[in-house]
Structure 1
Amino acid sequence: MSQCLLAAPCHSPRDSGGDCRTDDVFDFIVVGGGTAGAVVASRLSEISSWNVLLLEAGADKTMSAAVPALYLNLQKTGMDWELETQRDEGMYNGLTGRVNRWPRGKVLGGTSAINAMIYIRGGKRDYDNWAADGNAGWSYEDVLPLFKKSEDMRDMSVVHSETFCKYHSRGGPLTVSRFGSDEPIIKVIQDAGMELGYASNFDMNSVGKTGFTSPSQGGIKVGERFDTADAFLSPARHRKNLFVIKHALVTKIHISPKNKRAFAVSYLWKQEKIERTLRASREIIVCAGTVGSAKLLMLSGIGPKHTLEDVGIDVIQELKVGRNLQDHVMFFGAPITLSPVKHTGVELLEEMDSAYEYLTRRTGPLATIGVSELVGFVSTTDEDIPDLQLSFENYMDLNSKWDLLLPIVVLVQPKSRGTIKLKSCNPSDPPLIRPEYMTEPQDLETMLQGIRWLERLVKTEAMSAFDANIRRMNFPGCCNLEFDSDAYWACAISHLSGTFFDPVGTCRMGPRSDPTAVVDQCLKVHNVKGLRVADASIMPTIVTGNTYAACVMIGEKVSELIKIQWLGQKCHSSTMKQRFDNAVRLPYTPSTEGH
């Protein structure tokens, strides 16, 4: 019975795919029931007089998706789009097939249903810079109430703290709590970080910038994954004005060439070969993700002129869709060997005990993500602003001599920019994704600085107590290079670097005067009526940290903007309402504050 309660289908909205007819008209159509789309569909359906349709290419998550420790096993399953990038010159030499795979959620809840669940909002400067670039209403002061609106913080040490409580709230749909791994190596790494001047950071979503946090905050509720489908769609599943069609691959947004108004969407349902089309009387909101939203806009005639014409698509509105692609790139080719921190052999009986403990009490190793819950932010400059994120994986018993700790160095503010283009006009074809990692020299330099920081880490007393050493890996083409030289590490980076699963930016937000912008500060597509984009693709620059929390905030933001436009409804505070009004009505005066 306990097992059956994992991701129970009765908690999911019913599939309305067999009920909808081509003459049905909805007030709003939301494309994509992922991290942001689930938020938007739920919030809009709070208005009982609005009929809201949510189209999702996937369906419900599996039971294993609810178990935190199994998150990596969800890649290359039916819940994953299984995207692959194009080959960047000189990169991915050590990856299987020289392929950089991009796991993206094809399921209600989207990538929030298959990710590591870590909840990090990003830094104050991230959002202040968005506002300073001409996006009024997106400063940190503006978006903090939106983060709090979603949140139901279950960590009482945060809630009752005078310092941290003002950054958090209780009672929102999205449960946020702390992981609870008891891996002893976490304490060792934290102690080593403190020796280097990086104190333990109690709450990365408050005033903290650099430092190590464990246990970190995550989308966890009573030992189970709690994604945005759980948080926003499940409570709304009985609303008579919310319709959800699963297994619906949206193929096109219909836009009137005469007045450039989006009025309908076409989609393929399940195994059908003939498209269905449904109309929206008010707006269509695209929440298909950094890859999916860019692809759908281009399939619909919105994008770079030459890119669309190359695949035979008529251009309705020329915009820089698919440009400005950014991703947190990680390097994992500097393994650290350790003398055993504890007895690491795991017997079958222990595994069975862990499974029994989880199924009966939702506790134990399966309720955590292990050493991966330890998150560190460090700076390679003198500023207290992080440019690197550190995560760790612990692979025990890989040989008879040592335990192995795999540090993951992540560029959180990459300078390189990539592109997404259409392969063809066939909606079933995956797009051509070219991340262009490390094309800017500063990115390689920052990554090298991150490796040097790891070398300092292993020399601390805390790590030296376990004979910590960074070990050489003999990559083809690197064997003749001196170990620990910049040339060796640059070669290693070309072998073992890839995505940290946070692509953003392909439908960049910016004012009409910005030639690279696709949507405005209200997330309306420039020069197209009745069409918005609301997901990670709208980020002008990537946030400092995992993008999950920011996507939830974007869903909250666009929902309030829509309610203000169509209802004149007040936001969650009068000051926020004034800021939204200013964003729409007043000319923007750029500010240098926050740069």
Structure 2
Amino acid sequence: MESCLAQGCTGATEGALGSLFLQLIQTLMSARCSLNKDPYPADQTTYILSKASEPIHYDFIIVGGGSAGSVAARRLSEVGEWSVLLVEAGENPSASTDVPALVMDLLGIPEDWENELEAQAGACLSMKNGRCSWHRGKALGGSSTISAMLYLTGNKRDFDAWATAGNEGWSHDEVLPYFKKSQQMPPDVPWSSRFFGQDGPLLIRNFNFSESAIQDLLLQAVQQLGLPTPDVFNGPHFTGFAKAHGTLADGKRVNTAKAYLGPIKDRTNLHVVKGAHVDRIVLENDQATGVEVTLKNGQKVTVQAKKEVIISAGSIGTPQLLMVSGIGPREHLKEMGIKVEVDLPVGQNLQDHVTWLGLGISYNNDTNLPRPMKLLDAAYEYLMHGRGELSTVGGVDIVGFIDVLNWASVYPSVQFHGMYLPRHDLSRAEFFAKAFGLNDEIRREVVEQAKQRDTLQLLTTLLNPKSVGEVRLRSSEPGDSVRIFANYFAEQSDIDLLVKSVEFVKALEDTPVFKEHNIKFYHTKVPTCADYQPETKEYWECSVRHISGTIHHPVGTARMGPSNDQRSVVDPWLRVHGVQNLRVIDASVMPTITSGNTNAPTIMIAEKASDFIKERWMAKDEL
């Protein structure tokens, strides 16, 4: 028993002990939370079934209850005269999704769609099956239920570039009010009045626990290199290292459905149907009039929209639904045997934040000793006080942004995510390897390092990739998975930037604070790269091609742009070109990926789009 208890808290969720551990959490949380009152709207499947023999009408139908769909459902149902139907393929998030430390345990669970990418010759070579996997949420709250919870808005250049490309109303100054509208930030945050909101639904806080002093030592080293360590990101500063905010409160995840739908779950003009799959958009004379839905019992119904159909199924689900409905690239739809309704570049312009898992820093931590009661101590601290190891995500809140070509630049090219792997906690090292899909050969290397020294992995993320991929259908059946071509490193400049990041991480080793504490540069060895001269450009490029994965930020597959932009699918008001009363509201509309984690911009998009819809239909209703 003691050997089991000596596991790290995250790793201990595997197997029989993990099941018992989660039962313990659920039982005690239920007792502490007034009989575990359900924070989500009720499932209205029974109501829909009772109406199946007659026409079913709503003013608005929203497909997908994720980060964008939850926002839109709340905002549109604020108008009491409007009826809103939200259709979600998943169910309510499970209790385990609330616990930040279990984040890597959530990949592959029922709340995860999990798509395997198409194989590439020059990327993901040391991943399982030689392919990367993408994880996305299948539950109310979408990917906000299984993400690392980091709240990062991107920078001014990102949004100004959207506006410059012809997207009226999407500059930084024009989208900032919608970030603020969503936020409920602590009142003492620096720059609060200018950059942050305090009255929104989304609770945003600091992670309240650090497992190791390595985060503070890293910040000192960054300062000694002459780089900034701002008090807070998402304000006026876009580079440097700092501890990021997250969508959490009292040590628990705040997913978007909990934040936006929980407080209004009894609103009578909002119906939520769960475990239902939207098969097709109903189109009549170039107008969206409803959707065909398969309910959780297998029964098929058609629901009609009196005003609009809104697609918020995410950067993979949205292009799939559009294409099986006949909206997409003409030749591809014909190849799939689908009648072409509107010829648009749906599924193209796929962008993602590819992440190199090879770099980090390591050190001897003499205070980090095995403790047989570590798991129970952490569980008690978390359940009783909302603090401790279970309230954080293994150091992931330490985040850095720099331009590896010019460290003095005010805009970054690379983002570093910290991931703490303590010595002796071999199960956490195993879990890290499993979560990122590393093959057995690399997994053994990661575990072996965990036997020797503490490691802070610095996951190195390419912020503005030039390489662009594509989502394509596998068949005309809406229930079949799609084919995802990430095309990582199709452009050599992308791989060159990641390789250049080695210089920065190695420079940390030479700072006085790192020398004082004997903190060393570390890289994960890739046996396949042993034929190259160590630490040469060729060696690092080999490493990048083998152990780069993803932090799951796909965007862009229903690109926003003006009508004269042949690359675009929706206009700047997010209306699908050539189809009336059909709108897309999710990360797929981003013309270019933002410079940071994409959940916050997705929520902003939904806030802004909800105002577009209100402006159109409230004015029309008054006539």
TM-score of the alignment, normalized to the shorter chain, above 0.5: yes
Asked whether the equivalents of residues 118 and 219 of structure 1 are also in contact (C-alpha less than 8 Å), the reply is yes
Q: Displacement, 1:335?
A: 4.2
Q: 1:406 to 1:313 in 2, by over 3 A?
A: same
Matching of residues 43-442 of structure 1 within 5 Å: 43-154=75-186, 156-158=187-189, 161=190, 163-182=191-210, 183-214=212-243, 216-256=244-284, 259-272=285-298, 274-340=299-365, 342-382=366-406, 383-397=409-423, 398-442=449-493
Out of 496, 499, 502, the position equivalent to 1:445 is: 496
For 1:428 and 1:522, locate their aligned partners in 2 and report how far apart those are by CA, in whole Å: 29
Map of 1:475 onto structure 2:
526
Asked whether the equivalents of residues 124 and 130 of structure 2 are also in contact (C-alpha less than 8 Å), the reply is yes
Asked whether the equivalents of residues 319 and 471 of structure 2 are also in contact (C-alpha less than 8 Å), the reply is yes
Asked whether the equivalents of residues 164 and 203 of structure 1 are also in contact (C-alpha less than 8 Å), the reply is no
Deviates more, 1:356-365 or 1:322-331: 356-365
Q: Displacement, 1:343?
A: 1.8
User: Equivalent residue of 2:616, what SS?
Assistant: helix
Asked whether the equivalents of residues 9 and 60 of structure 1 are also in contact (C-alpha less than 8 Å), the reply is no
For 1:165 and 1:458, locate their aligned partners in 2 and report how far apart those are by CA, in whole Å: 38
Asked whether the equivalents of residues 181 and 370 of structure 1 are also in contact (C-alpha less than 8 Å), the reply is no
Asked whether the equivalents of residues 409 and 451 of structure 1 are also in contact (C-alpha less than 8 Å), the reply is no
1:25 aligned to 2:25? no
Cα displacement string for residues 55-77 of structure 1 (whole angstroms, at most 9, x for unaligned residues): 00001011110011111111100
How well do the aligned residues superpose, as a CA RMSD in angstroms?
A: 1.7
User: Equivalent residue of 2:263, what SS?
Assistant: coil
Map of 2:39 onto structure 1:
11
For 2:220 and 2:153, locate their aligned partners in 1 and report how far apart those are by CA, in whole Å: 25
1:510 aligned to 2:535? no
Deviates more, 1:344-353 or 1:81-90: 344-353
Q: What letter is aligned with 1:380? A: V
Superposition TM-score, scaled by structure 1 size: 0.92
For 2:451 and 2:599, locate their aligned partners in 1 and report how far apart those are by CA, in whole Å: 38
Cα displacement string for residues 462-519 of structure 1 (whole angstroms, at most 9, x for unaligned residues): 2223333334544343112111100000101111001121110000000000000000
Q: What letter is aligned with 2:542? A: C
Cα displacement string for residues 254-308 of structure 1 (whole angstroms, at most 9, x for unaligned residues): 111xx20001111211141x42211101000100000000111001100001111
Map of 2:11 onto structure 1:
none
Q: 1:43 to 1:472 in 2, by over 3 A?
A: closer
Asked whether the equivalents of residues 360 and 455 of structure 2 are also in contact (C-alpha less than 8 Å), the reply is yes
For 1:267 and 1:346, locate their aligned partners in 2 and report how far apart those are by CA, in whole Å: 53
For 1:122 and 1:334, locate their aligned partners in 2 and report how far apart those are by CA, in whole Å: 23
Q: Displacement, 1:337?
A: 2.7
Map of 2:436 onto structure 1:
none
Q: 1:222 to 1:305 in 2, by over 3 A?
A: same
Cα displacement string for residues 218-253 of structure 1 (whole angstroms, at most 9, x for unaligned residues): 101121111110111111111110000000111110
For 1:292 and 1:3, locate their aligned partners in 2 and report how far apart those are by CA, in whole Å: 34
Superposition TM-score, scaled by structure 2 size: 0.88
User: Equivalent residue of 1:53, what SS?
Assistant: strand
Q: 1:548 to 1:280 in 2, by over 3 A?
A: same
For 2:405 and 2:545, locate their aligned partners in 1 and report how far apart those are by CA, in whole Å: 24
Cα displacement string for residues 333-373 of structure 1 (whole angstroms, at most 9, x for unaligned residues): 13433122x52234231220110111112111111123111
Higher helix proportion = 2
Asked whether the equivalents of residues 181 and 373 of structure 1 are also in contact (C-alpha less than 8 Å), the reply is no
Structure 1: 5+ residue stretches without partners: 570-595
User: Equivalent residue of 2:405, what SS?
Assistant: coil
For 1:474 and 1:65, locate their aligned partners in 2 and report how far apart those are by CA, in whole Å: 32
Asked whether the equivalents of residues 29 and 36 of structure 2 are also in contact (C-alpha less than 8 Å), the reply is no
Q: Displacement, 1:2?
A: 4.2
Identical pairs, percent? 37
Structure 2: 5+ residue stretches without partners: 1-26, 424-448
